[in-house]
Amino acid sequence: MSILGILEASREGFLETVKNLLQKKVDLEVTDREGRRPLHLAALGGHDGVARELLLRGADASAETPEGLCCVHYAALGGHISTLMLLLEFRCDIQALTKDGSTALHLAAARGHPLAVEWLVTQAGLRVDSANKKNETALDLARKAGHKATVQSLLQVQISLILTGGDVGTLSQLVEEFDLDVLCAKENDKGFRSVHYAACGGNVEALRILQDKKYDMNSVTSQGYSALHYAVKYSHLAAVKWLVKKAGLDAALPGRGVASALELARRKRNEEIVTYLERY
């Protein structure tokens, strides 16, 4: 009765019942049919009082189910930020992986918890580009499940990686669903737009996709830098050529309060780019 009681009380968040059972020395590590322990169930339900009591009494924060889920994964499945913060307070491993290589971020994204997703990335430091053993990122899982708000939360912290990394497959789909410039504006306060990130990565196909979707190839950042400036800065000759030939950017035209892309290339002493721009 006590064994069943501690599991049920933890799942339902009955703090006083849990305290009474703990006084009777009930086993803290008893499991249900899925291998879940009282702390797992408290974390899943977001019952912070119960979770704290169990941890103070010595519950094993690193204990795993047969699938490799520990308490941080269950807190993420429930989307409970306060519980995740509590677990961090007790030095639980927020980076823990399940047997299939999923992080708490994967699980929160798959369940559609945008606020938890944002917290896990911005406050807990989980990587948005981390893939599980099925090669799925948190973004992949959120999109597959149709959680648009969660997808948008992930994109706001990941859009620059997608554009600079040249993930053309993902980019081709995202431009059909979202205004990428709006997402970029939410991620930074320096006026960076989609074309600037794509130019930083030097991915010509990404630039072509943006042009086809009528993104402003001539846009400049708040400091006056164009996409061509960034292609020059990071020595992406192919992107430099495409921006000049196909997008029509003028390498000799000074930016708003900054030197021209040609002058920048000269300062960087990138002879190949300088030669091309001067000849063109």
Whole-model pTM? 0.76
CB 108 within 8 A of CB 134: no
For residue 108, being part of any structural domain is answered with: yes
Per-residue pLDDT, 100? 97
Look up residue 103 and give its amino acid.
T
Per-residue pLDDT, 1? 38
Per-residue pLDDT, 129? 85
Instruction: Give the tens place of pLDDT for each residue, 128-167.
Output: 889 999 999 999 999 999 999 999 889 888 888 889 987 8
In the chain, which residues have pLDDT < 70? 1-4, 255
Look up the CATH number of the domain holding residue 54.
Answer: 1.25.40.20
For residue 234, being part of any structural domain is answered with: no
Per-residue pLDDT, 4? 55
> Could you give the 3-state DSSP secondary structure of residue 221?
coil
HSE-CB of 245 using CA atoms within 13 angstroms: 11
For residue 114, being part of any structural domain is answered with: yes
For residue 117, being part of any structural domain is answered with: yes
CB 24 within 8 A of CB 2: yes
For residue 52, being part of any structural domain is answered with: yes
Q: What is the tally of structural domains in the chain?
A: 1
The pair of structure tokens assigned to 232 is: 């020059």
For residue 215, being part of any structural domain is answered with: no
CB 194 within 8 A of CB 214: no
Angle, helices 168-177/204-212, rounded to nearest 10 degrees = 20
Per-residue pLDDT, 158? 83
For residue 75, being part of any structural domain is answered with: yes
Domain coverage including residue 40: 1-132
In sequence order, which residues have a C-beta less than 8 Å from that of residue 147 and are 6 or more positions away?
Answer: 109, 111, 112, 114
CB 150 within 8 A of CB 119: no
For residue 206, being part of any structural domain is answered with: no
The pair of structure tokens assigned to 193 is: 């737009």
Distance of CA 88 to CAs 11, 75, 104, 138, 184, Å? 20, 11, 13, 21, 30
Per-residue pLDDT, 157? 81
Q: In whole angstroms, give the CA distance from residue 68 to residue 99.
A: 5
CB 8 within 8 A of CB 42: no
